Structure 1
Amino acid sequence: MTKRKWVVLAVSSLLLGCGPEEEAAQQSSPVSVNTETPPRYAVNLKADVAGYYVPATDVQHQNWRLKHIAFKDDVALRHWMMTNDRTAQIAPVLLVFEDMEEGTQNPSGNRRTLTLVPAGFGLSDKKVSIQAISAGLGPVTFDGRWVIEGRALQGDLKIGTQSFENITLNTKTESR
């Protein structure tokens, strides 16, 4: 048998094995699906949550301290999600960290900051889920819920392998 005939025979055998009976057997096998993972970007908000949410206590990983999580208004959220006008550090949801290492102030005297644009987020009137990645920090996730009618957040923040459980973030009322 020639090489070409062997290839045709092999492909034909594969195609025969992929008939409807084989598909039915594959569909009946158990599959684990995580239904709590939000779509890449999902917004289902009725409340206005726009603002800066500052941790009530210090949340620091290595030399980086969480400065705030920022949310823009509903119009900005939906516009950003529906357009391809996406650039670094311009997003309706941002995680902002500041460098606490000595001598890292910029010429104006402010600390150096690291702004993470989420790779995905899910926002509803009850829950918040944010996923980002940083070359220096690794994966960063926040899973929480709104408390005090959208004026505060409470949840778990994970930076790399370090977890901060049940942290509270309040809307910014004073400069920090």
Structure 2
Amino acid sequence: MMIDRNRRDQRDPLTGTATQPAMQRFLEAALDLSEPQGPRVALLAIGVDGLGGLASRHGPEVADAALLGIADRLRNGLRAHDLVGRLPEGFCICIPEALTAQARGTAERLQRLLEATPLETPQGPVPLRCSLGLALGHGPGSSAEELMLRARAALATAQEAGGSRIITAP
């Protein structure tokens, strides 16, 4: 939908996930296709709690391995028409056609998936803690940029509150 997942300029070079501009275009199209009274478009912003510390303690290759493992887990845990993208602070996922409870359930399931098993890295297994920010929108004329800002603000709130939690944006 709306982007070519095989074009290199639309994929993050490390993880293969959508770039932020590609995600924004996908999100805009999903919002335009959604019905004002129907299911919503959910956006999850996902941050790895302590990723900077992981890189400083074990080196950038371990942080890169963690990001690759997270991207793989996220892609494997979603529907075919959901899109995983890369953000400077982690990842984001666009979930078109989601009911509010379904979006929250997906966030909880993905957090469990990420935190349940340590990631294998060149330095051995690394346990993860992840925080998620969830924002919902719908209907043509909704702003993809505003939805992204709300999801990222909810993620920041989750991390500031101690991490390993999910916050839904107002």
Larger radius of gyration, structure 1 or 2?
1
The alignment's TM-score, normalised by the length of structure 1, stands at 0.27
The alignment's TM-score, normalised by the length of structure 2, stands at 0.28
